[in-house]
Amino acid sequence: MKRFFQPVKEDGSFKKPSLSSADPLLSTVGDLVSVAGIHTVEAGERERREPCKFLTWNANSLLLRMKKDLPEFSNLVQTLDPDAIAIQEVRMPAAGPKGGQKNPSELKDDTCSSREEKQVIMRVLSSPPFQNYRVWWSLSDSKYAGTALLIKNHCKPKKVSFSLDGKASKHEPDGRVILAEFESFFLLNTYVPNNGWKDDENSFQRRRKWDKRMLEFVVQLDKPLIWCGDLNVSHQDIDVSHPDFFSNAKLNGYIPPNKEDCGQPGFTLSERRRFSNILSQGKLIDAYRFIHKEQDMERGFSWSGNPVGKYRGKRMRIDYFIVSEKLKDKIISCDKHGHGIELEGFCGSDHCPVSLELSQLT
């Protein structure tokens, strides 16, 4: 969320792509090949076990975090040792010339500045504690939105795709989806569009369409789902620090004609009701709330407003792990790793990392 709200085939062939002809280091990072937008995993390298430890984090610019806050996040990853790391708001542009066709699966590196930025990212990912992960990207055309998914080499998925239908060759607009299929479950990383403040195609209408597609996606799955990321919704009153403040929030005094659309993006009645319907129809549960029944004013929120101004101390829980009801007895823990209005543990972002641990699924 903005700070101010404003499959894999068994016979898939494999070779290492050259990520950058200018930097030999980059060609050593990642051993994926993109086939029509779907990444396949070599049958001979099938994972020996499935992921059971997960971490999700809206980085609010992965490049900035790696430049300014890398030690804190690296220490967290080293401590938690997750099998999969889902990142939102990567904010790195997709490869491709200006005005030309883009490749959302690759980082841009056709200018001096973009090449330097890519080198920063790839050097970090080739060093501890990230060197044993494989990374998938879904990127926007510009430094906006975008997602990344890091999965340990011994936890290889059957298939990785980049749209809610799981079959399309194209990426979702702005790189908002990465879907990994394993033998016993799907892992979905999403950066859900912000609802905005007005009933136009880039705000309410865009979010309604997204929620409709999410509902269609979850009801047709043939195996359990682990859905994580910045979902840009606070489901219940206990998921925000100041319900009245968020319910009555306005932008420049504007009041939507439909009362259910009034309030802070992410806390309108319409968004919350659609989210409830997705959970209900998809037979899904909120892993954090399944474990933590009561409101926690210190550690119960994942987004915090600007420490200066009217949003100081105003916090929301908008980053989630949503899991199929079939997995609820597998939940060991689901925790937030940041706290307080000074954003301690947020690793430089305005969102804190959230972790999930399940007992072994297979």
On whether 89 is known to bind a ligand per the annotation, the reply is: yes
CA distance 273 to 58: 24
> Tell me, what's the pLDDT at 348?
97
Report angle CA 308, 176, 5 to the nearest 5 degrees.
20
Q: Given the residues 191, 288, 311, 320, select the one marked as catalytic.
A: 191
296 annotated active-site: no
CA distance 164 to 176: 10
On whether 232 is known to bind a ligand per the annotation, the reply is: yes
Contact, 24 vs 18, CB < 8 A? no
191 annotated active-site: yes
Residue for token digits 């101390």? 313
The SS3 call for residue 327 is helix
Say whether the peptide bond before residue 17 is cis (omega within 30 degrees of 0): no
According to DSSP, residue 176 is labeled -
> Tell me, what's the pLDDT at 239?
98
Residue 341 CB-half CA count within 13 A: 14
Q: Given the residues 109, 174, 211, 230, select the one marked as catalytic.
A: 230
On whether 132 is known to bind a ligand per the annotation, the reply is: no
Q: pTM for the whole thing?
A: 0.88
Written as six digits, the tokens of 270 are: 């319409």
Contact, 22 vs 113, CB < 8 A? no
On whether 277 is known to bind a ligand per the annotation, the reply is: no
Pairing of strands 186-191, 225-230: parallel
> Tell me, what's the pLDDT at 16?
36
pLDDT tens digits, the chain, 362 residues: what are they?
A: 544 444 444 333 333 333 343 444 444 444 443 333 455 554 444 446 899 999 999 999 999 999 999 999 999 999 999 999 999 999 999 999 988 999 999 999 999 999 999 999 999 999 999 999 999 999 999 999 999 999 999 999 999 999 998 766 789 999 999 999 999 999 999 999 999 999 989 899 999 999 999 999 999 999 999 999 999 999 999 999 999 999 999 999 999 999 999 999 999 999 999 999 999 999 999 999 999 999 999 999 999 998 788 999 999 999 999 999 999 999 999 999 999 999 999 999 999 999 999 998 86
Distances (CA, A) of 328 to 39, 53, 332: 29, 14, 9
